[in-house]
Amino acid sequence: MKRKWYVVWVGRKTGIFETWKECNNQVKGFSNAIFLSFKTREEAEYAFSKSPGEYWGKREQISIHKLDINLLDEIEIESMAVDATCEGSPGIMGYRGVYLKEKKEIFKFGPFKRGTNVSSQKIECL
């Protein structure tokens, strides 16, 4: 199993934790806790030095270049993809839209506190 590091920005105790159990002790039942996991200690230290709002969305933001560009080139109609995500429920939520023909992000909103899986799904349907 790959090792992870956990950053807690808002919780009983803030900091970088080496196990999920340690992290969970700080955030479980804590109203509006803000935390993320990272693959390396260096990433966790960098993220902890920033505010969660400044860092959120950059960690796992999928680059359009990682997608199968050939599939995108086959899109002939004007279309847009919208996706929302929520870490926890309630938790931090964000969403964005991509104009597929030009492979360009056209809007991005968030992070928002106290989002839910349901609220993110409703946004995707708009």
Q: What is the pLDDT of residues 14-33, one digit of tens each?
A: 999 999 999 999 999 988 88
- 33: amino acid identity, one letter: A
Distance of CA 115 to the CA centre of its chain: 12
| Domains located in the chain, CATH noted | 5-54 (3.40.970.10), 76-115 (no CATH)
Q: What does the alpha-carbon distance between residue 86 and residue 113 come to, in Å, rounded to a whole number?
A: 10
pLDDT at 73: 58
* Run of H or E residues at 73: helix 69-73
pLDDT at 111: 77
pLDDT tens, 37-71? Answer: 888 999 889 888 887 776 665 545 434 444 455 55
Whether pTM > 0.95 for this model: the answer is no
